[in-house]
Copies of this chain bind each other. A is one copy, B any other.
Amino acid sequence: MSDVFAVGVGQTEVGEHWDRSLRQLGAAAARAALADAGTDEVDALYVGNMLAGDLSGQHHLGPLIAEHAGLLGVEAIAVEAACGSGGAAFRTAYTAVASGLVGSALVVGVEKMTDRPGKEVTQGLATAADADFESQIGLSFVAINALLMRRYLHEHRLTRDDFAPFIVNAHANAVHNPNAMFRFPVTAAELARQPMVADPISVLDSSPVCDGAAAVLLCSAERARGLGGRAARVRACTVGTDTIALHDRRDPLELSAAVRSSRRAFEVAGVAPADIDLFEVHDAFSIMTVLALEAAGFAERGRAVALGASGAIARGGQLPLSTMGGLKARGHPVGATGVYQIVEVVLQLRGEAGENQVADAALGMAQNIGGSGATVVTTVLEAVR
C-alpha cells in the first residue's frame, strides 16, 4: 500500500441551518476542502451520513453530493456506521487511496437534523441501537448512555459533578471556534443546576441536535507532492466493532471496540498513547469521553475523571481534548462528526487552529464512535513539516 495524505479540509458552521439543505451543506464543505487543497482532481467521493433517509426522505447521497459539489459522474458511495459514519467514510476513502485504485478521494460527512419532513430526531437516533432488543422497548439513545453513566458512577463511587471538567473544557475551547455551535463557556456550578434529560445525563451533558458538513481530501504521496504544502500524513485508521446491544456485552464499562481499534491504531502507527499531542474524543455524552479515554489507554479504569480534574485535558495540558469544542460544544451533526474531528486534527497539525492551537502539535488522534460503542474508528495523523 502507498502512504496517504490529507491535503485539504473544509467545514460549514455547525448549527441550525434553516436556510441550507442537506445537499447544500455537503457541497459547501466539499468545495471548501477542494479550495483548501487547490485542486479539483477527485477520483472518488465517500459520504458519511446516518439520518438523511429517516429525517429527509433522501438516500443515495453519493451521487447527490457529487453532483452538487461539481463532481458529476465521479465514483461516489455513501457509508453508514451510525454516529461513526464520518469516521467510517474516512476509513473507506483511506483504504481506496491506499489501494492505488484511486489517486484521490474526497470524504464528506454531512447531517441535517433540523427542518426535517421525516421521523423525529430521537426516533432517528434510536436506529443506532438494537431495533429488536433496545429501541423497540422504548430505550432512547440518551437513555442508553444514562444507563452506562449510572453504572460507572456506581462502580467507581463518583457523582455526576466529577464529569464537569470535560464539559467545561469543551465549552471553553468552542468559544474560539467560529464553526462551533455553542460559543459560550460554562462553569461547574452551572452544570450542577442543569435539568435532566435522562438521569444522570443533563442538558449540558448532551451534545446538541444540529446540522453541519465537513470534508477532507485524501491523496497518494505522488499527488500530494504536486499540490505543494500543508498536508498531514495518515499514520493509521482502524475500525473495531462490538455488539450493538449493551446487554450482549460481557462488561458494559469496557468499550471493547475502542480497545481493539485504539490498540491497532497505535500498533500500525508505531506510537504509544503518550506520543499523542491532542485527542479529538467522541464526547457525545461525557460518559463516552471517560470510557474512550480508558479504552485507549490514556487512563486506568475508573481514573479518567481524575485526568479530567488534573487539567491535563486543557490546551496547555498533557493530553488536550476536544480542542475545537468537541461534539459537546462544536456540535454533533451525527454522520458528519467523524470528519469534523479529522478536519480539526489537521488544522492543529498545520498550526492553523487559531486561539485553540496546541503548541508544537505533531501527532493527533481522532476517535469516532457509532452507537454506544458498537463501531469505533481511530485515526492517527502526523504533521508534515
Chain A interface residues toward B at CB < 8 A? 1, 21, 23, 44, 50-51, 53-54, 56-64, 66-67, 72-82, 88, 91-92, 95-96, 98-102, 117, 123-124, 126-132, 135-136, 238-244, 248, 256-257, 260, 370-371, 374-375
- CB distance B72 to A92 under 8 Å? no
A98 to B1, CA, bound (A): 9
Q: Residue on B with the closest CB to A264?
A: B75
Question: In the complex, which residue of chain B has the Cβ closest to the Cβ of A76?
Answer: B241
Interface centre among A96, A244, A371 (most CB of B within 10 A): A244
Chain B residues in 8 Å Cβ range of A95: 92, 95-96, 99, 101-102
A375 touches B256 (CB 8 A): no
Contact, CB under 8 Å: A57 / B135? yes
- Residue from B57, B62, B242 in contact with A73 in the complex, judged by beta carbons closer than 8 Å: B242
With known contacts A64-B244, A75-B240, A1–B99 Cβ distance under 8 A? yes
Contact call A244/B60, Cβ cutoff below 8 A: yes
Q: How many copies does the complex hold?
A: 2
Complex contact B59–A127 (CB within 8 A): yes
Interface centre among A59, A63, A239 (most CB of B within 10 A): A59
Cα-based distance from A56 to B131 in the complex (angstroms): 7
Name the residue on B nearest A135 (C-beta).
Answer: B57
Of A44, A62, A66, A135, the most chain B CB neighbours within 10 A belong to: A62
Rounded to whole Å, the gap between the CB of A73 and the closest CB of chain B is: 6
Interchain nearest-CB distance for A357 vs B (Å): 32
For the complex, what is the distance from the CA of A67 to the CA of B248, rounded to whole Å? 10
For the A-B complex with A57-B131, A58-B130, A78-B88 known, give 7 more contacts whose Cβ atoms are closer than 8 Å.
A57-B135, A60-B244, A74-B241, A77-B80, A80-B80, A92-B95, A95-B102
What is the CB-to-nearest-CB distance from A61 to chain B, in angstroms, rounded to a whole number?
Answer: 8
For this complex, 17 residue pairs linking A to B, each with C-beta atoms less than 8 Å apart, are A53-B53, A53-B127, A54-B54, A57-B123, A57-B127, A60-B370, A62-B241, A62-B375, A64-B374, A67-B248, A72-B243, A73-B242, A73-B256, A75-B241, A77-B92, A77-B239, A96-B99
Which of A63, A238, A256, A370 has its CB near the most chain B CB atoms (within 10 A)? A63
What 6 A-B pairs are tightest by C-beta distance, nearest first? A99-B99, A58-B131, A63-B241, A75-B239, A63-B374, A59-B127
**Minimum Cβ distance to chain B for residue A286 (Å):** 22
Please determine whether A239 and B76 come into contact, CB atoms closer than 8 angstroms.
Answer: yes
- The listed residue (B66, B67, B72, B82) touching A60 by CB distance below 8 A is B82
Contacts of A257 in B (CB 8 A): 63, 73
* Cβ contact within 8 Å between B238 and A75: yes
Pick the residue among B1, B23, B132 that contacts A21 (CB under 8 A).
B132
How far in angstroms is the closest Cβ of chain B from A193?
35
Q: Which residue of B lies closest to A240 (CB)?
A: B73
| A52 vs chain B, min Cβ distance (A) | 8
Q: For residue A72, give the distance in angstroms from its CB to the closest CB of chain B.
A: 7
Given contacts A67-B244, A95-B99, A241-B72, contact A371 B127 (CB under 8 A): no
Cβ contact within 8 Å between A50 and B57: no
Q: Are A100 and B1 in contact (CB under 8 A)?
A: yes
User: Is B126 in contact with A57, judged by CB distance below 8 angstroms?
Assistant: yes
Distance (whole angstroms) from the CB of A157 to the closest CB of chain B: 31
Shortest distance in angstroms between A33's beta carbon and chain B's nearest beta carbon?
Answer: 18
